[in-house]
Amino acid sequence: MRNQFRPLWRPLRRAARVLFHAGRARHCPVCGISARKFAPFGEVPRSDARCLHCGSLERHRAVWLYLTRNTDLFNGRSKRVLHMAPEPCFEPLFKRRIGPGYLTADLFEPNVMEKMDLMDIRHHDATFDVIYCSHVLQHVPDDRKAIRELCRVLKPTGWALLQMPLSAEPTFEDASITDPAQRRRVYGHSEYLRRCGSDYAERLRAEGFMVTAPDLATVISPEEIPQMGLSKHLGALYHCTK
């Protein structure tokens, strides 16, 4: 009997949570909806993190502001865009605004357009105008090879936006750590293969990219930081060209 009513209970529970968080103190730029506060999120739950409407987290809201205010991604011109490990809060918006040149890819997620191993991208050189790859490289066994592949398939006139969590100084990895429980202790997540630091930009440069780290303070106003929950957990954002 419990399983019979589960499909009905979930949307009712979500509606109750949305109603509980109703208000104007927080605003999500991704879906455009306001709330009293964001919901908790994370293996160790952090408060005021996740939009109850679209599911965006802090890093998604910051990236959305950067993409819409500081790039040509949504200027309406035809372009080939590779979106690795597409976030549910972004995918429908990207698909609608970019059109037929939009490609989602992942190695394990079944509901993407193409199964893709970042260490062996099956596309010709200089295929994509834009690449967006967020919170993926810390999962890749040979991230240097993946970076070279991303650089190879990017057009000379294109740009890539790469994002990752920062939790070490300098970047740390140990190939002998293979147990998920040990990875959680060492890296903070059972599926991470390294902890990235601010020196990661040098790794990107060493594999062929020219790299800038956008100052989000020039994109986001002081008033928007608390309103959109952007005071922390943004990680590193690298704008890469060839």
Provide the pLDDT for residue 5: 47
Mean local confidence (pLDDT), 180-196: 92
Provide the pLDDT for residue 1: 44
CA 178 to chain centre: 24
Same structural domain for residues 70 and 132?
Answer: yes
Same structural domain for residues 30 and 69?
Answer: no
Same structural domain for residues 49 and 35?
Answer: yes
Last residue of a domain, one of 10, 33, 55: 55
In angstroms, the CA 200 to CA 182 distance is 23
Q: Which two tokens stand for residue 55?
A: 């599911």
Same structural domain for residues 122 and 228?
Answer: yes
Same structural domain for residues 2 and 36?
Answer: yes
pLDDT digits (tens, 9 = 90+) for 23-57: 679 999 999 999 999 999 987 788 999 999 999 99
Question: What is the span of the domain harbouring residue 34?
Answer: 1-55
Pure H helices in the chain:
2-20, 58-70, 91-98, 143-153, 180-187, 200-206, 224-227
CA 57 to chain centre: 9
Same structural domain for residues 94 and 202?
Answer: yes
pLDDT digits (tens, 9 = 90+) for 120-150: 999 999 999 999 999 999 999 999 999 999 9
Neighbours of 96 (CB within 10 A): 10
Task: Report, in angstroms and rounded to the nearest whole number, the Rg of the chain calculated over CA atoms.
Answer: 19
In the predicted model, what is the mean pLDDT of the chain?
91
Domain total of the chain:
2
In angstroms, the CA 208 to CA 63 distance is 23
Same structural domain for residues 76 and 120?
Answer: yes
> pLDDT class for 6, splitting at 50, 70, 90?
low
Last residue of a domain, one of 55, 72, 96: 55
Residue linked to tokens 């704008």: 239
| Side-chain half-sphere exposure of 76, counting CA atoms within 13 A | 0
Beta bridge partners of 104: 83
Provide the pLDDT for residue 22: 64
Same structural domain for residues 23 and 44?
Answer: yes
First to last CA, the chain: 59
Provide the pLDDT for residue 218: 84
Percent of the chain with pLDDT over 70: 90
Same structural domain for residues 122 and 202?
Answer: yes
Pairing, β 236-241 against β 154-164: antiparallel
Same structural domain for residues 87 and 193?
Answer: yes
